[in-house]
Amino acid sequence: MAFRSQKAARVAGLTVLVLALPLAGRAQLSYEVFHDHWRKHCTGMLVIDEHGVSYQQTAKKKDQKPEDLHHGRWAWQDIQQLYVSPKKIVLLTYQDREWLLGADREWEFSLESDRTFADAYQFLKERLDQRFVAALADSSVPALWEIPAKLQGRMVGSEGVLRVGQDRIVFETKKPSHSRTWRYQDIENISSTGPFQLTLTTYERAKTHYGSLKGFNFQLKQPLEEKRFNLLWRRLNQSKGLEFLTSLQGKDIRP
């Protein structure tokens, strides 16, 4: 079978306060969260709205002056990457940390108990560009086809199901934070070396990967037909506005 490679790109959870409007009409989402940092943590209010993200520490620590309370406001353009998992949101900003040789500053916010950031995912998934990382499995995505797979890791992997939908690819696994939902615009490249292997190269940042792009390497438990791989490649390229051969135009490429 001939396969080819083509370009195609965390006291938290005390209460979640949301406006009493339908999700699509909400102006903002507010969460009481932990803000994790190198000197233990603090608690405060995280707000996500149409203009960006803000945080304000609400519980003052002993001997902490009011002006030293942690706070921040980031417009969407000031966020390099926004990572959302069921229990955690991480903002990667453009601010340098001189004591870390200029590494960009991250702000990490977490929830506990039974609260999740599911509403945040729904609010953000159609608003943000490829800098958005959805570290969860969107169960509402209808699958055109699916295949059991193992996501390979540095030390250990995670087993789950890879689902290909009309406009997204979902990997669902029980291992925390290993699940993903990628819009086709979040995927830069797909490749395969054979029917039991598939790699998705995404725009998620990863310093250990070439060009800062993160690769997800899957061992497939069932063979992936060449036809499905080729149709997936065409769908990915179609989402990027590339032109197709005349014989493919106007045809339904659904498997």
* Cα atoms found within 13 Å of the Cα of residue 250, Cβ hemisphere only: 2
The predicted model gives 134-151 an average pLDDT of: 97
The answer to whether residue 252 scores a pLDDT higher than 80 is no
Residue 1 lies in a domain: no
Question: Per-residue confidence at 137, pLDDT binned at 50, 70, 90?
Answer: very high
**Domain encompassing residue 231:** 137-239
Say which residue, 26 or 150, is predicted with more confidence: 150
Tell me the sheet residues that pair with 163.
146, 170
The answer to whether residue 100 scores a pLDDT higher than 50 is yes
Q: Where are the alpha helices (DSSP H) in the chain?
A: 118-124, 226-239
What is d(CA 86, CA 13) in angstroms, rounded to the nearest whole number? 11
Summarised one tens digit per residue, pLDDT across range 166-198 is 999 999 999 988 999 999 999 999 999 999 999
Say which residue, 237 or 197, is predicted with more confidence: 197
Residues 28 and 129 in one domain: yes
- Number of helices and strands (H, E) in the chain? 2, 17
Least confident residue range of 59-68, 155-164, 198-207: 59-68
Neighbours of 79 (CB within 10 A): 18
The answer to whether residue 67 scores a pLDDT higher than 70 is no
Residue 2 lies in a domain: no
Residue 212 pLDDT:
82
CB-based burial label for 188 (10 Å; 0-12, 13-18, 19+): buried
The predicted model gives 27-54 an average pLDDT of: 88
What is d(CA 81, CA 131) in angstroms, rounded to the nearest whole number? 5
Residue 82 lies in a domain: yes
The answer to whether residue 155 scores a pLDDT higher than 70 is yes
Count of the separate structural domains present in the chain: 2
User: Structure tokens of 13?
Assistant: 């959870």
The answer to whether residue 25 scores a pLDDT higher than 60 is no
Residue 248 lies in a domain: no
Q: What is the CATH number of the domain that holds 67?
A: 2.30.29.30
Neighbours of 205 (CB within 10 A): 16
Q: How far, in Å, are 48, 116, 241 from residue 136 at the CA level?
A: 18, 11, 27
Residue 187 pLDDT:
96
Summarised one tens digit per residue, pLDDT across range 207-226 is 655 558 999 999 999 999 99
Residue 227 lies in a domain: yes
The answer to whether residue 23 scores a pLDDT higher than 80 is no
